[in-house]
Amino acid sequence: MDYKFFTVTDNGYIFKEDFPQYGIRLQHEVTEKNGGTHIKWYLEYDGQENVLIKKCGFRTEDIDIGEQPVIFIDPGVCAWAGVKRLDYLDENPRMKVCEEQLTGENGIVYARFHRSDLQTVISDGKQALLIGFTGQKQGNNKIDIFPSDDMKIIDSIEIWQELGVPVQSGVRYYFDDIVILNGVNPYYLLETYADIVQSYHNRKFDMPPITGMMTWYGYHASVTQEVVLENAGIIKDFFGGYPQESEIYMLLDHGWQSEAEWGSLNSDKDRFPQGMKWLGEQMKSIGVKFGIWHTPFCITEYVSEYDGFKPLMALDQNGDAISGKASVWSVYPHKGRGSSRKINY
C-alpha cells in the first residue's frame, strides 16, 4: 500500500513533497509484524514562526478490494456502530455521512464520504481490510473512505489524527500508531486487531467477557416482563454457544418504573405485575445476570413516592427543594405530562 502523507493548515492540504518549504518533517517507520503493517509516525517543525497544524495523516489510493464492498463504521457515538454499503450515502441519524469542503491538490473540492472513528473494516466478501489506531487515546483519530464517482469501488482512504495546536520549532509531536491488516474474514481481523491493541497497552484480559443485551434501543419504555424473559432466553442460547465462557447480562433500562417516571422504586403494575424481585429470580433460573437502570438522584413530581422522598431532597439556601427540567423519555402521551418535566434532586 502506498502512503501519501499530508498535513492540514489554514492554507489547506500540504503534501509531503512540499513539506520542506514550510519547515515540516513528517517522519514514519513501517514494519511488518503480527500479520500486519504497523506505522509509527511523528512530526517535527523547524520554521521560524509557529504554525497551526489542524491534522496530520496519509492518503492511499492503493486499495485491493473489489466492487461494492461493505464498511464497518464506528462513528464514535455512544452505542451506535454498524455495517453500511459503500454506495449508501443517504442521510442516517446515527451513522451520518460526512460532507466537507476539502482543499486538495486540485483546489477546493466538495466531498461526500464515510467516516469511522478509531477503526474500520472493509470487505467485499472475498477480501477484507482493517485499518485502526492502536493507542486509541490521542485526540480525534479518523478514517475517511471516499467512494468512486460511480460508487462501485473505493477511490481513496485518508487516515488522520487531529493535532489542532500551533507547532513550535524543535518540538517533536508523536501520533498514535496505526495498524493495517489484510485477510479474508473481517471478524478474524477484528479479533487480531483487539489482540494488538491489548498488547500495545500491556493489558491482559483473562476474565470472562461481559455479553448480553440492554432493552432501551429495542423497546424503549414499552418494555414488559414478557419481553425481558423472552430475550433473556435468546441471549442465553446465543452467547452460551460461544467457545469462550462469558458473563451474560440482561440490562433492563428505563421504562420499568411505575408509569416510566424517574426516581420511582415501584415497578409498573401493568407491564411488570410481579415486580423486580420475581423477575430477578427468573433471570437467575435462566442463567442470566440481571441489571436494572435507575436514577436515584433525579425524581419527577409524578412518582407515587414523591412525598416520601421530600426529606431526602437537596435544598437551596432558602430551604426549598432544588428543581430543574429534564426530558423524560418515552412518556405516556395520554397523561398529558409532556416530555420536559420538572425534576428534583
Task: Provide the CATH number for the domain around residue 257.
Answer: 3.20.20.70
* 195: in domain: yes
- Choose between 263 and 76: higher pLDDT: 263
Please tell me the distance from the alpha carbon of residue 128 to that of residue 144, in angstroms, as a whole number: 17
Q: Does 192 share its domain with 310? A: no
Query: Does residue 234 sit in the same domain as residue 327?
Result: yes
Confidence of residue 108 (pLDDT cuts 50, 70, 90): low
Greater confidence (71 vs 226) lies with 226
Q: How confident is the model at residue 92 (pLDDT cuts 50, 70, 90)?
A: low
Mean pLDDT of 267-281: 95
Q: In 3-state terms, what secondary structure has residue 7?
A: strand
What is the extent of the structural domain holding 37? 4-200
244 has pLDDT over 90: no
Q: Any residues with CB less than 8 A from the CB of 105 and at least 6 apart, and which?
A: 13, 15
Identify the domain boundary among 200, 228, 252: 200
DSSP readout, 10-22?
A: TTEEEEGGGHHHH
Residue where one domain finishes, among candidates 155, 170, 200? 200
d(C-alpha 136, C-alpha 260), whole Å = 37
Three cell numbers at 248? 451474560
For 251, what's the count of Cα atoms within 13 Å in the CB-facing half-sphere?
Answer: 14
Do 274 and 300 share a domain, yes or no? Answer: yes
| 344, three cell numbers | 428534583
In a domain, 316, yes or no: yes
Is the CB of residue 322 less than 8 Å from the CB of residue 344?
yes
Q: How far apart are CA 342 and CA 345, in angstroms?
A: 10
Residue type, 151: M
Q: Which long-range contacts (CB under 8 A, 24 or more apart) does 195-201 make?
A: 195/34, 196/34, 196/36, 196/134, 197/132, 197/134, 197/136, 200/134, 200/135, 201/135
Angle (CA) 138 141 146, round 5° = 170
Q: Residue 311: helix, strand or coil by DSSP?
A: helix
Within this chain, do residues 336 and 308 fall inside the same structural domain, yes or no? yes
Cα separation, 79 vs 210, whole angstroms? 15
Encode pLDDT of 289-343 as tens digits.
999 999 878 898 888 899 999 999 999 999 999 999 887 776 555 567 777 788 9
Residue 205 falls within a domain, yes or no? no
| Rounded CA separation 211/229 (Å) | 16
What mean pLDDT comes out for the span 3-13? 85
Q: Mean of the per-residue pLDDT values for the chain? A: 86
> Per-residue pLDDT tens for 40-66?
999 999 887 888 899 999 999 888 898
Which of 200, 229, 255 represents a domain boundary (last residue)?
Answer: 200
Q: Look at residue 208 in the predicted model and tell me its pLDDT.
A: 84
Residues 178 and 259 in one domain: no
Rg (CA), the chain: 26
Residue 280: count other Cβ atoms within 10 Å of its Cβ: 16
Single-letter residue type at 82: G
Domain shared by 132 and 94, yes or no: yes
State pLDDT tens for residues 185-230: 998 999 899 889 888 888 887 788 889 999 998 888 889 999 999 9
126-145 pLDDT, tens per residue? 999 999 999 866 668 999 99
C-alpha cell at position 321: 427543594
Q: How many domains does the chain have?
A: 2
| Residues 67 and 125 occupy one common structural domain | yes
Same domain, 321 and 214: yes
The residue type at 198: Q
Element housing 186 (H / E): helix 186-200
How much is the pLDDT for 103?
46
pTM (2 d.p.): 0.68
Is the pLDDT confidence value at 93 over 60? Answer: no
